[in-house]
Structure 1
């Protein structure tokens, strides 16, 4: 790579921060924020600087390795592909297609090449036993979007750059820079909000980094969010504050929601939430009477026992108070590559509960079963039992509940292949690991997070380093395996046209597809003088063809659609290469009713599945609040899940994998700051240092997510030296939100005791 400054998007979290990477003598000399990036505007967090560490990491695998009796051995790519295809094909022949399980990890959504290749790979596998990080993360938001707006990834995004009131519940954007709300430099945007006279209110069981900057903060008991939100809905109806505003003519079933909220008065829910009734009413009034306001919820509300209901109610509150489709409220983005419209055009708006898992009968979502039941499907004999497993850029041993049980299950499988460049806590169980190139060795375009950004932008980054001839990109690995599996399934030979198609796909790669999607999208080619001739034809197609007709979908996406006539035009891959810092496509804009995908074109305010789950919420309200300590996770700006702890600059400093506990609880349990604590639930236990702080609510303890690098057989030297403990070694995989199938990562009860190693040795 030439010396000088090269511009790129950091791919390490959802924020899409622009970076300026200075190169000297073929190496990275410095990484700074890109001042010209239209979204991040020069901001970066400490993770971005670690891009260099990940690229240069000596622990990173670069060639396929296979487990043998004498240890891991390297092998060449063709041999590795044949080995994997043969073993997977044999498993499918011997035990049926559902005997192969697949897990897709979080990094896949940061990688357009992997996204493009995943679907043909999954089709070639052919199994219904698919899993991903979705059910440990954002599933309640996707379900609410599907049920209310008709599309699983049509998320209402807070217009934080123009709002006057930002209410944040169960989220910490100061650490995350947003999640399902791509918002780099949250601190700077919050400062701007306050300078224009706005306020931020935070509700959380922990006084987070975000809460410390809030104008108003309330502790809430873990799992009580649905009760708080329902009491706010009750207040809106009771005080005549319901006004859907721009969306009023599109909303249906308002009365059903009013009836559902009758019993949930602020007084009734106060004890279970830990928030005074007057404060609940005041919160509802502030949301209703501030014209430009947005209510935002995230992990704390979604990954809990009432995650589905809580997320639905947050959407309802924005709608009931007229904040949906209003600048300064919550709006739908309009990305350059519109996966929402493309999905709808191909009939892929999403689906839920079309089938259920074999062992526990849990509902699928978009073709995936909940990750919490992976071990069940491996350990339970019978037709459809998982015998072989594929992981792609995932570490579910650390990121899914009951990681020790999942390890036991992985150890009993016939075959495991991992597409990953680390020998980590999950891939150490694999028979073979296929390592892809590092991120800086491939091009980058944010297909997913552009849909969640607080401003419409487009940015393409060319590869910073040339990939070695003896390496493979992840999309090449997935396509090669898919091709060979399809040939195996067809008896070793494909029809000539199909074979040529596979070869072309593998030769061209994902970037020509990007170019086509950019050119044909809302900001694509400008028809110029030809618009006058083509416009009537496009109008006719949109007006006359059925709603779900593919040609109508293409016309709706076309830059010739009158709906997009005010948008900038001329986007293509070459155009983006001319603007390496990215292109600003403008602020979020009102888009209803055109952006709805429900059958009747209206917003379903009270879907039946949510109303049916309220009986469980009534039962919870009628039960006295228990006295257990309840465990919640937490996020740190230097970390993201389990895959960034092998960078010394990200883990250096004081230990961050600690048990946060309130002084009152610490005193009651005899814990002191220098102690270690044993945290347990049933027969699961971890030990970690104690951090006594008033920033945690009494009755609540907190452990960060993604640690636990003390397993033998890994090759992550820095991570192993800063191992920490995995919160998922305590959490049960049997506790889920029954409405959505989401893992309960926040609010499970635990026992905490002082850890005395010498006493434990005597007992042993």
Structure 2
């Protein structure tokens, strides 16, 4: 991906078409730096590595420039490769130099209804994005967004010394199926002094836990998609109230998490979730009233607290109260009286089908939060990865590579214990090109052994021309035949665990993301009786 995108950017420059557009005049830095850094990645130089001829690469690049509306778009698949950060950066660069950044029909920035990093603070300027506020103990990988690479979890548990992880809290996840070299991680979890899982399933991860705390059903709690609405095509707010009440004495999920937080802070097993909740909301209120650009700047903290928490507002608590603060101080918010017709939790309860505030609109420069107040196309950290990209041109074209794939009825490992979602033709198959199948001497459905540096699995072949030669595809999240779990439906459709093959040593050095696609593997037919 990164080589193809780099060549397309170079083709745009060679054609004399690199122009962000009048709407971004004066708001883009680093165009010439990008040109110089990528000049060697011509379509002719990368065509063998990417499997697309130079003429086609140039044609697509020019078509992007000529099209009245166009956008280059990358998501999970772009990120979970050896050059995930570089590829994601080049997606943005290509949109910028073809005039397709922040324009209707191009790549745009959503305007979330709830307050977000691009709507809080001074418009058009900010601290920018920094990584490395801390580093992992064993290999010294930098944090990003307050997170450390999941691929390094096992070594941080297993390596003795100061700061060694000895306890773990897992919330609704299944890292023993979703992270690289999961056999190693399972062994690491077995070595912990203590582990707690907040989960409704006894799965491949929670089976290692000393304590499992099941949260209520999704139908017993409210819902607002705070994360995904930050990426929505329209400024939409949709709040769902619980369908069923919680039985007496059953804690909500936020109460479980608040109590765990209190215990972690040394408040003991009887830590009061309500106290943790109050501390959290007061902290958020205080930071908001201190923000000179906020609609409630300078307001009294207790006044805002009472407005959020009192009977007149439904005595909100937990996530609903936090959400109400974010909605009321967001771009369409009620503003605690400043805009009586604005959005709030109470208003969304009166509109159960949601409220639509319209399609995306151009947001540069007001959405920017860089120190310069401009789009920085050539950050030094990203340019520094170009030599590594250059070295990748020397790859072995005969090497078989493993990639993953997704399915509409399968989200990681979460949906595999629901029969209506897993029934039918088996989906955990090894897709393989007919030429490779013939070379191995395997037929459709025959077992094939796939071996990487760290592990080996056997999966049934699915011969298809929908995949390129020397590439095979295996979906992730499967392998539900492990002892100690209680997922009867998932066990019927067990499949194999593709993350036995992924390598915990293979990490994108910029983001710390695991390399889950493009894994070097060897294939072999398996003899059957």
Same fold (TM over 0.5): yes
Q: Out of 375, 394, 400, which is 2:179 matched to?
A: 400
From 250, 254, 258, the counterpart of 1:479 = 258
SS in structure 2 of the partner of residue 235 of structure 1: helix
Query: Which residue is equivalent to 2:36?
Result: 259
Deviation at 1:331, TM superposition (A): 1.2
* 2:114 aligned with 1:305: no
1:244 to 20, 24, 29: 20
Give the total of aligned pairs: 493
Q: In the alignment, is the contact (CA less than 8 A) between 1:295 and 1:318 conserved in 2?
A: yes
Q: Does residue 612 of the first structure (1) align with residue 402 of the second (2)?
A: no
The within-5 A match list for 1:68-87 is none
Mapped contact 2:115–2:329 kept (Cα < 8 A): no
> 2:331 matched to 1:522?
yes
Equivalent-residue separation in structure 1 for 2:14 and 2:462 (angstroms): 43
Question: RMSD across aligned C-alpha pairs, in angstroms?
Answer: 2.5
Q: Distance in 1 between matches of 2:349 and 2:277?
A: 32
Encode CA deviations 1:297-331: one digit per residue, 9 max, x unaligned: 12222111111111100100101111111111111
Shift in CA distance, 290/502, structure 1 to aligned 2, threshold 3 Å: closer
CA contact (8 A) 2:478 2:497 kept: yes
Q: Does 1:290 align with 2:64?
A: no
**In the alignment, does 2:375 pair up with 1:603?**
yes
Pair 1:659 & 2:434 matched: no
Q: Deviations over 1:377-432 (max 9, x none)?
A: 11111111111111111100000010101001111111111111110000000001
Matched, 1:363 2:142: yes
Retained in 2: the 8 A contact 1:338–1:451? no
1:728 maps to 2:499: yes
- Aligned with 2:365 (options 593, 596, 619): 593
Residue matched to 1:509: 318
Once residues 296 and 694 of structure 1 are traced to their aligned partners in structure 2, the CA distance between those partners, rounded to angstroms, is 25
SS at match of 1:227: helix
Secondary structure at the counterpart of residue 267 of structure 2:
helix
More strand by share: 1
- Residues 257 and 669 of structure 1: is their aligned pair in 2 closer, same or farther, counting only changes over 3 Å? same
Say whether the 8 Å CA contact 1:633–1:705 is kept in structure 2: yes
- How do 1:19-38 residues align onto structure 2 when only pairs under 5 Å count? none
Q: Does 1:226 align with 2:2?
A: yes
Q: Aligned-pair distance for 1:351?
A: 3.2
| TM-score for both structures, normalised by structure 1 | 0.62
1:330 aligns with 2:107: yes
Contact 2:233/2:360 (8 A) holds in 1: yes
Which is further off, 471-480 or 501-510? 501-510
CA contact (8 A) 2:18 2:98 kept: yes
State the partner residue of 1:279. 56
Could you tell me whether the CA contact under 8 Å between 2:447 and 2:460 is conserved in 1? yes
Distance 2:10 2:261 in 1: 52
Using the TM superposition, give the Cα deviation of residue 711 of structure 1 relative to its aligned residue in structure 2, in angstroms.
Answer: 0.7
> Does structure 1 residue 755 correspond to structure 2 residue 520?
no
d(CA) in 2 for partners of 1:631, 1:746: 6
C-alpha displacement of 1:502? 7.8
Matched ranges for 1:163-174 at <5 A: none
Deviation at 1:676, TM superposition (A): 1.1
Going from structure 1 to structure 2, the CA distance change for 1:660 and 1:467 (only over 3 Å counts) comes to same
Separation in structure 1 between the aligned mates of residue 281 and residue 248 of structure 2, nearest angstrom = 18
| Matched position secondary structure for 2:73 | strand
**2:127, 2:370 within 8 Å by CA — same for their partners in 1?**
no
1:640-696 superposed Cα distances (whole Å, 9 cap, x missing partner) = 111110110000000000000000000001111131111111351111111000000
